[in-house]
Amino acid sequence: MNTDILELVKRKKEKLVNCRRDLHKHAETAWTEFRTAAIVAETLTRLGYQVAVGDAVIDAEVMMGVPSEQKLINHQRRAIAQGADPNWVGRMQGGKTGVMGVLHFAEPGPVVAFRFDMDANDVAEATLAEHRPWREGFASVNAGAMHACGHDGHTAIGLTLAEVLAEMKNELAGTVKLIFQPAEEGVRGAKAMVARGIVDDVDFFIGMHLGIGLKQRGTMTCNTVGFLATTKLDAVYTGVPAHAGAAPETGQNALLAAATAALNLHAISRHSKGASRINVGVLQAGTGRNVIPDKAVLKLETRGTTSEINDYMYQRALRILEAAAAMHEVKLVVLPMGGAANSENSPLLVERLQQVAEKSNLFESILPEGNIGGSEDCTYFMERVQQNGGQVAYLMIGTELAAGHHDSRFDFEEESLVSATALLGKAAGELLRKK
């Protein structure tokens, strides 16, 4: 390999940081990443990648937790007003904001895919002098949307990697796919991209995250463990309203059905083969103290250390939701709002990437594993690639944090952008090198 990848990335550091800060300032939540996706599509096209967006990479039937049509239209207008190319935005109707760039090299070789999530959180960013994005003028200008999980950094890393690989084109063989995924928060976006078959030909797949389990700069792991399979649900109960004093017997109480379900959901027996979780996070119901409530909504999730355990929790949750509806004679509609599979890394690829990391001299400490301790829908990509005989790995890159993930004061140390990009560039160089 003739190119010094680290030096190449260092020369792009200012551009890399500015890209991250621009994305941070214009934070966009799940399925509304029109400006971000348009920038990604435009950049990849300029670099010579074959770019697919909209229906080409998103299966609308598998999308979960999509905002209303009017909200999507409003966000499209907002994105265009903030500089998004209307032509790209127009190709992402319905919130289909996924983007994939494909670059074929001159000689045959493996197909290597990298995945980067783009969406922000439903968080109002802190307006405090000690909060660097606010102090330095790149805090989110979009109300109720904030990059509080580092996805702005992930997207900037992906775009810089795209530039690096394009400049190394004559030194590589095979094909690279750069996948920019919407709606990771709430684990909603990956499944709809996987359903389009975009990773069905992938030999090596790599995902990554800044921070999470590693909060010290100079640390990393090629072997992230602890992915919890999860299912996110909204249970909507519909009953019959009535006067609570004059005719309570004519009503059918949706609130009581939801309350019955909430109490019994938390009584599901845990699984002996591994950790299992259930949580009712929201219960919304009722209009007034003297009215029998005819509407109620439960927002809940199940989790498990394996997809089998999560399915166990999910099936029992459905049974309880339905039984509560029958007990109180109300109607029930269950809406899928998100989900993620369980997945484990491929040992051979982890070992190979660990050797790359060790030779890179980018990190002071390379840990044998790191626990993510939650759910990440990148696992849908990982699961599909492994089902088709490919190898997968999910990396964590350590960085110093101003506050925890999803906190309104979240920020990360930007030098980690350089080391993360350089590592991915070196990983691509190893997997796509000419024979």
Question: At residue 324, what are phi and psi to the nearest 5 degrees?
Answer: -65, -40
Distance CA 176, CA 109 (A): 10
Contact present, 101 and 116 (Cβ < 8 Å): no
- Tens of pLDDT along 250-267? 999 999 999 999 999 999
Classify 48 in phi/psi space as left (phi over 0), alpha (psi -120 to 50) or beta: left
Any residues with CB less than 8 A from the CB of 330 and at least 6 apart, and which? 237, 238, 239, 240, 252, 253, 254, 257
Distance CA 304, CA 226 (A): 10
pLDDT, residue 342, reads 86
Distance CA 425, CA 362 (A): 12
pLDDT, residue 171, reads 94
Residue 343: band (very low, low, confident or very high) from pLDDT cuts 50, 70, 90: confident
Q: What percent of the chain has pLDDT over 90?
A: 94
**pTM, full prediction:** 0.92
- Tens of pLDDT along 227-238? 999 999 999 999
Between the alpha carbon of residue 329 and those of residues 203, 237, 245, 252, the distances in Å are 52, 10, 20, 6
- Tens of pLDDT along 304-334? 999 999 999 999 999 999 999 999 999 999 9
The dihedral sign for the CA sequence 79, 155, 28, 72: positive
Residue 2 has pLDDT above 80, yes or no: no
Residue 203 has pLDDT above 70, yes or no: yes
Contact present, 149 and 185 (Cβ < 8 Å): yes
- Tens of pLDDT along 116-172? 999 999 999 999 999 999 999 999 999 999 999 999 999 999 999 999 999 999 999
Helices (H), 47-180: 69-81, 86-90, 132-135, 151-167
Contact present, 119 and 182 (Cβ < 8 Å): yes
Judge if 5-228+342-431 and 229-339 fold alike in CATH terms: no
Residue 281 has pLDDT above 70, yes or no: yes
Q: Kindly state the average pLDDT of the residues 351-371.
A: 94
pLDDT, residue 213, reads 77
- Tens of pLDDT along 21-78? 999 999 999 999 999 999 999 999 999 999 999 999 999 999 999 999 999 999 999 9
Report the candidate in 360, 347, 342, 355 with the shortest Cα–Cα distance to residue 393. 347
| Superfamily of 5-228+342-431 according to CATH | Zn peptidases (3.40.630.10)
Mean per-residue pLDDT over the chain, rounded: 96
Q: Does domain 229-339 have CATH number 3.40.50.10800?
A: no
Q: What percent of the chain has pLDDT over 70?
A: 100
pLDDT, residue 341, reads 87
| Lowest-confidence segment of 206-220, 238-252, 404-418 by average pLDDT | 206-220
Q: Kindly state the average pLDDT of the residues 278-287.
A: 96
Report the candidate in 56, 51, 26, 25 with the shortest Cα–Cα distance to residue 40. 51
Residue 434: band (very low, low, confident or very high) from pLDDT cuts 50, 70, 90: confident
pLDDT, residue 373, reads 81
pLDDT, residue 1, reads 63
pLDDT, residue 335, reads 95
Q: Kindly state the average pLDDT of the residues 213-227.
A: 90
* Domain boundaries, given as residue ranges, for the chain: 5-228+342-431, 229-339
Contact present, 40 and 159 (Cβ < 8 Å): yes
pLDDT, residue 192, reads 97
Residue 209 has pLDDT above 90, yes or no: yes
